[in-house]
C-alpha cells in the first residue's frame, strides 16, 4: 500500500474514534494530547511522510483498536511501528 493511502486511512481511523488530526509546520515532532476534553493528534507537515506515519501509528497504539475494523495494512503498520527520531 502506498504511503499516501496509509495517511488517508489514518485520517479515516481518526474520524471513527472522534480524534482530530491537526497539521502544522515548525520545530516539533508531533504527538497526541487532549485540549478541552478533545483528543488531538498533531503532525508536522514539514517532516517526511514516513515520520508523519510513524507519529500517527505511535499515537494510535495508545487506543484499544481490537474491536474496530480497519484495513489489514493499517493494522499491521500500527502493530509494527517503532518511533523514529528524524
pLDDT digits (tens, 9 = 90+) for 8-29: 999 999 999 999 999 999 999 8
| Per-residue confidence (pLDDT) for residue 1, from 0 to 100 | 83
Residue 38 half-sphere exposure toward CB, CA atoms < 13 A: 9
Provide the pLDDT confidence category of residue 83 given band limits of 50, 70 and 90: low
| Per-residue confidence (pLDDT) for residue 31, from 0 to 100 | 94
Residue 84 has pLDDT above 80, yes or no: no
∠ CA 29-74-8, nearest 5°, is: 65
Which residues pair with residue 58 across a beta bridge?
Answer: none
How far apart CA 78 and CA 54 sit, in angstroms, is 8
Q: What is the mean pLDDT of residues 19-42?
A: 95
Amino acid at each position: 500500500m502506498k504511503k499516501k493511502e496509509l495517511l488517508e486511512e489514518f485520517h479515516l481511523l481518526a474520524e471513527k474514534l472522534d480524534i482530530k488530526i491537526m497539521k502544522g509546520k515548525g520545530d516539533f515532532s508531533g504527538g497526541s494530547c487532549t485540549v478541552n476534553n478533545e483528543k488531538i493528534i498533531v503532525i508536522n507537515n514539514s517532516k517526511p511522510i514516513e515520520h508523519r506515519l510513524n507519529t500517527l501509528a505511535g499515537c494510535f497504539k495508545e487506543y484499544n483498536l481490537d474491536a474496530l475494523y480497519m484495513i489489514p495494512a493499517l493494522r499491521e503498520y500500527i502493530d509494527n511501528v517503532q518511533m523514529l527520531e528524524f
